[in-house]
Amino acid sequence: MAQALTPDVLVYGLRSADDPQIAPDGSAVLYTLSTPERGQAGPLSQLWICDLDGSNSRQLTQTGEHNGGARWSPDGESIAFVSDRVKKSGLFIMPLTGGEAREVTRHAQPISGLIWSPDGARIAYTTLYDPANPDETEPAKDAAAPVRVTRRIDYKQDGRGYLADKRMQVWVVDVESGERRRLTTTPNDHGSPQWSPDGARIAAQESLMNGMHSRLAL
């Protein structure tokens, strides 16, 4: 017998699968499954994998409330993903042959746009960078609230709220050592980084004129 479509079912009974990523050899699909939970501000998300025909699905992540943005390594043996299992936003790597996820780096702001270098040695990504706090240190509990200075007219229209001088910048991290560096420096938002085939360059979108225009930057 079919289940009645009640408000409770609409809110808590529907799960969504998104961000599918096909393995390099075409044998499996990696995806994020979001499940609404009572008492939570938003749905919980975990990483799953299944065969290309949808069979043999299994859950990959168990820790953290929000796991996503997963991307296959070029050799198909590992995945990189973002998780809130650490206090800040963390970038993790998990071997699909077995073993625990390993933290590569973390930031105070959410990480997005993961993309492996062609040789699998580095990962490029984006996150908000605050020039007033480059080390991402937490303010003291008794610290006075910073003075709010607005330098862009669209800060209430971009869906992110007041961010002061924080801008999305492109970073690169070494998979083994965790050593990272920021590649972009202009006071504009950057996104969608892409590696050149030889791994020597990265192209990214750069927003201009408060997001009304954009250009590609190398």
Residue 40 lies in a domain: yes
Q: 137-160: per-residue pLDDT in tens?
A: 877 777 777 766 666 665 555 555
Q: Which pLDDT belongs to residue 164?
A: 67
Residue 210 lies in a domain: yes
CATH number at 151 reads 2.120.10.30
Cα–Cα dist 203/193, whole Å: 6
Are 72 and 87 in contact by the 8 Å Cβ rule? The answer is no
- The whole domain housing 181 covers 14-217
Cα–Cα dist 205/191, whole Å: 5
Residue 135 lies in a domain: yes
Residue 7 lies in a domain: no
As a three-state string, the secondary structure of the chain is: CCCCCCHHHHHHCCCEEEEEEECCCCCEEEEEEEECCCCCCCCEEEEEEEECCCCCCEECCCCCCEEEEEEECCCCCEEEEEECCCCCEEEEEEECCCCCCEEEEEECCCCEEEEECCCCCEEEEEEEECCCCCCCCCCCCCCCCCCCCCCCCCCCCCCCCCCCCCEEEEEEEECCCCCEEECCCCCCCEEEEEECCCCCCEEEEEEECCCCEEEEEC
- How many domains does the structure of the chain reveal? 1
Q: Left (φ > 0), alpha (ψ -120 to 50) or beta: where does 211 sit?
A: left
Residue 9 lies in a domain: no
Are 156 and 163 in contact by the 8 Å Cβ rule? The answer is no
Residue 121 lies in a domain: yes
The per-residue pLDDT of the chain, averaged, comes to 85
Residue 98 lies in a domain: yes
Q: Is the pLDDT of residue 74 over 80?
A: yes
Are 200 and 177 in contact by the 8 Å Cβ rule? The answer is no
Cα–Cα dist 170/195, whole Å: 12
Mean pLDDT of 16-22: 92
Residue 54 lies in a domain: yes
Q: Is the pLDDT of residue 94 over 70?
A: yes
In terms of pLDDT, which residue wins out, 78 or 8?
Answer: 78
Q: 162-200: per-residue pLDDT in tens?
A: 566 788 999 999 999 999 999 999 888 899 999 999 999
Q: Is the pLDDT of residue 15 over 80?
A: no
Q: Report the predicted TM-score, pTM, of the whole model to 2 decimal places.
A: 0.83
